[in-house]
Amino acid sequence: MADTLRVLGPGELRRVIGDGEGVPDGEVEGLSEQDLLELHRQLVLLRTYDERSVVYHRQGRIGTYAIFWGHEAMQVGSSYALEREDWIFPSYRESAIGLLRGMPASTILSWWRGHPAGWWNPADWNVASICVPIATHVPHAAGLAWGKKLRGKSTCAIAYFGDGATSEGAFHEGANFAAVMRAPLVLFCNNNQWAISTPLTAQTAAETLADKAVGYGIPGVRVDGGDVLAVYEATREAVERARAGEGPSLIEAVTYRSAPHATADDPSAYIDLERVEEERQNECLGRYEAYLRRLGLLPDEAAEAVRAEATQLLREGITAAEAEPPADPALVFSHAYVDPPASLESDLAELKRILG
Ligand SMILES: Cc1ncc(C[n+]2csc(CCOP(=O)(O)OP(=O)(O)O)c2C)c(N)n1
Ligand SMILES: [Mg+2]
């Protein structure tokens, strides 16, 4: 495999996993069998977290939830290319990425329950807070990466954001700043082709999102977002560039959102349901499991054991999250102002009265 970023033409996506028929399987240099199985474990962990969360939402046990079904390969493949001290800046779509660093499931479930037990200290995991405003974390990630560089560290940062985020001023400011300062940053765009109900065609006039990299003077690559190995390899190259002092890279991982934007969304009003069904048939975990089976690396019992372990982890996670004592309602108000206006006091009194 090439050790510099390969720039492919529009429409061309980097792939490693074949289709079991005409398209042959590739391999990624440097990944052992143990690595391949760990990638599988992580994919199953995220898939299980996501599927259980939708159920917990329907049961009224967590609040509105941003589904990431089908996005797991982008998250697992990219984060696997990082070292533990590298910093991750997730959006709501990557809410559970901390699991891959051992963060307890209860912490993330608590976040979705709106409970302060879900407010982790970013420095404990080198995972920043989940960013809900679109793209505002991109300048934060750029600043952190630049700061690490100024201190002579080899640490880099990765910022995850969607296709819609590339239209935001904060994306431009962060990308431009990182490029000018040669900050060790990986700009990872999950191009799922939808920003809630806005399709990619209404989002940009650019042929590809990776093309935007040209304007910043950095490399931009396009990769199949459903291919965990291709995502890993592309991110590893971007990380190597970052550590070598060559600055940021933009990775456009292309997929198609095959679940609702969030539990509050009904995409049947705007999405092509046939396309969704096609994508669901070709989803990233199934593709990777088929790849491992072709290599003879995934006996049924082993796959079952990985699923059982993840299911158990989630069961324990929701139990622990629900065992948290009720949060103090004053917290809703207490970090908003240095000098709180008098009206907040009466609002708090009213809230306490309602809560009984
Ligand atoms: C600054 C800002 N504007 C608007 C919103 C409302 N909003 C929430 S999700 C979303 C779409 C984002 O789409 P994309 O960047 O493609 O990410 P995806 O949800 O597809 O992962 C919007 C506009 C927001 N959260 N923040
Ligand atoms: Mg999107």
Atom of ligand 1 nearest to the CA of 165: 15
Atom of ligand 1 nearest to the CA of 136: 1
**Cα dihedral sign, 70-76-29-214:** positive
The helix/strand count (H/E) of the chain reads as 14, 7
Q: What is the pLDDT of residues 2-34, one digit of tens each?
A: 444 444 555 689 999 999 999 999 999 999 999
Asked if residue 236 has pLDDT above 60, the reply is yes
pLDDT, position 14: 95
Which of these ranges, 3-7, 129-133, 201-205, 247-251, has the smallest mean pLDDT?
Answer: 3-7
> Would residue 261 show up in a list of annotated catalytic residues for this protein?
yes
Residue to substitute in 91, 188, 196 for testing ligand 1 pocket (most ligand atoms within 8 angstroms of CB): 196
pLDDT, position 3: 40
The whole-number average pLDDT for the span 280-285 is 96
Joined tokens for residue 110: 């608590």
Asked if residue 74 has pLDDT above 90, the reply is yes
Q: What is the pTM of this model?
A: 0.95
User: Coil, strand, or helix at residue 256?
Assistant: coil
Cβ of 87 below 6 Å from ligand 1: no
Q: Which of 270, 275, 294, 315 is catalytic?
A: 270
Nearest in space to 250 (alpha carbons), one of 328, 152, 142: 142
Compute the distance between CA of residue 332 and CA of residue 348 in angstroms, rounded to an integer: 9
The whole-number average pLDDT for the span 114-130 is 97
Tell me the CA–centroid distance for residue 133 and ligand 1, in Å.
7
Is 223 or 8 the better-scoring residue by pLDDT?
A: 223
Nearest in space to 53 (alpha carbons), one of 66, 41, 42: 66
Residue found under tokens 């299911």: 311
Compute the distance between CA of residue 167 and CA of residue 164 in angstroms, rounded to an integer: 6
pLDDT, position 332: 85
pLDDT, position 7: 46
The radius of gyration of the chain from alpha carbons, rounded to an integer in Å, stands at 21
Asked if residue 163 has pLDDT above 50, the reply is yes
Compute the distance between CA of residue 168 and CA of residue 26 in angstroms, rounded to an integer: 36
Compute the distance between CA of residue 91 and CA of residue 215 in angstroms, rounded to an integer: 24
Give the pLDDT band (50/70/90) at residue 139.
very high
User: Coil, strand, or helix at residue 276?
Assistant: helix
The whole-number average pLDDT for the span 148-176 is 98
> What is the share, in percent, of the chain residues with pLDDT greater than 90?
92
Cβ of 133 below 6 Å from ligand 1: yes
Nearest in space to 291 (alpha carbons), one of 43, 79, 68, 49: 43
Cβ of 195 below 6 Å from ligand 1: yes
